[in-house]
Amino acid sequence: MTLFNVTEAKRLASGFYPDPTICEKPTGGYYMVNSSFEYFPGLPVWESDDGEHWTRVGNAMDRASQFPYDSMDNNQGIYAPTLRWHNGLYYLIVTNVNRGNMILTSADPHQGWSEPIWVEGWPGIDPSLFFDDDGTVYICGNEGGGPDEDGNIEPAGIYLSAIDPDTGTVLTRRRRICGGITGSNPEGPHLYKREGTYYLMWAEGGTESGHMENIARATDPFGPYDMYPGNPLITNRSTHLTLQAIGHCDCAHFEADRTLMVFHGTRNNDEYPAQGWVGREPYGVWFDWADGWPALADQSYDTQLVGDGQANEQAVAWVTPSIDEDGRFMVISGGSDGNDGSEGGTASAITIDARPHGFDLSHGPCLIGTRQTDVRFGFSATLVNPKSLEIGETGVTVYANSRHYMVIAAQAAANGTTTVEARVYNAGLVTRLGSVRVPSAPALTFRVEGDERGYRFLVSSADTDGESVLDEAPGKVLSFSNAGGFTGIILGLYAHGLGQVAFRDIAYRAGR
């Protein structure tokens, strides 16, 4: 490919909000929804008047009844939604990998979403709906390796059937309509129609450096499909651009002269090989048409690694990995109480009932946190009374998954003092960065700073002068290339042991 075909892309939201799907509102403007994987509340919903400036309006999945599972682990949960509007309802189809494919509906996303309508007999992930103008509704998605209706193993590819979206009933036999170009993980398909022609868009090449988006067209939704000669439509593979792993597109105004396309990508630093850890974020671009195809071919996009450098406090949206069924985490913000996942302000208070478990999810959520949305940031929280923890440790974590995370932790008080230590956990390898002993009586303030290189850990006490710097840790430990996974970084609070701890003055500051 050539590097001359590079333009700037507009980042629509910061932090891990992958797999964007976009839908036009009948009154003008747009909604966008993203994957949330194991985190609850899930399926974040955004709104925009112009497709460029977006406001968070809530979560489509905000009740435990919408998110059933028998067990939960990292990178499970909710995959790749598709949002469409039809006859007064928004239809949101999505995969719960712990249960199956399902549809949520809403007449007004500001007012909440329905209980799940389960799509029985439709295996695989990344489902999408298409409402044809003859009244037929189609479901497409990717699958490979599972049995078909006759018990034969289905080859990898994109499959299509007719469906009743109000009952979840699949009406016709599944048919494989596309195997992709490279044959490597064709996924995230969407079906559109323009001037009587059906267009199929899908991602492939995996979710990392080989990620790309392709397009094909046909006169019948079941094909045969003709591949676009300019494929891949977009990709940043084999480049050293800041923006990497672009793909998983969805479009609005597909039938118009100019089409709005959203996709996700990761911001990477200048090291070699490049490292990114904030998460897959949504971007938006407009494209024109030429000769019945998008006027894009092997198109690359780039972005800035950091923002404008201005420091400003931001509101935080609390999430937990899996559902807090025991009510261990209580968010107190703006004078009102809320359970896990409550929308908090820049200065919140949280109480946590400690449990004698670590960072795995086999016993429920291990932390409560908010997304890291900036490469350069500061996150701080004050532990009100270190003596309230009887056994174990409590503090702040920079969390990618249960095997890759960092902590600044206060041990349970002993003999009038508390030991505070910063550690890095890397697939079983534990690195102790630094520690300090402080009096147990006053409150302790933990602070984490982030930049292009990684993270810096600091602690202060009312009885000590200034802050103690415990050390720094490279962010590459939590990068996709090392930690793997589909999410991003959570800045969290935790308490593992026995007792109830309280944090106050919790703040996230973007930029430095």
Catalytic residue (choose from 19, 24, 374, 421): 19
Q: Which helix (H) or strand (E) holds 42?
A: strand 42-48
Nearest Cα residue to 233 out of 247, 251, 221: 247
Tally the residues of the chain. Answer: 512
DSSP of 171-192, one letter per residue?
Answer: -S--EEEE--SS-S--EEEEEE
CA dist 148 and 414 (Å) reads 62
Among left, alpha and beta (phi > 0; psi -120 to 50; other), residue 278 is alpha
108 flagged as catalytic: no
In terms of C-beta density within 10 A (0-12 exposed, 13-18 middle, 19 or more buried), how is residue 114 classed? Answer: middle
DSSP of 70-95, one letter per residue?
Answer: S---TT-SEEEEEEEEETTEEEEEEE
Nearest Cα residue to 60 out of 141, 99, 114: 114
Phi, psi of 156 (to 5 degrees): -60, 145
Q: Which amino acid does the sequence have at 427?
A: A
Catalytic residue (choose from 24, 126, 187, 281): 187
CA dist 25 and 31 (Å) reads 7
Q: Which amino acid does the sequence have at 181?
A: I
195 flagged as catalytic: no
Q: 389 near 407, Cβ under 8 Å?
A: no
C-alpha 7: how far from chain center = 24
- Residues labelled catalytic: 19, 187
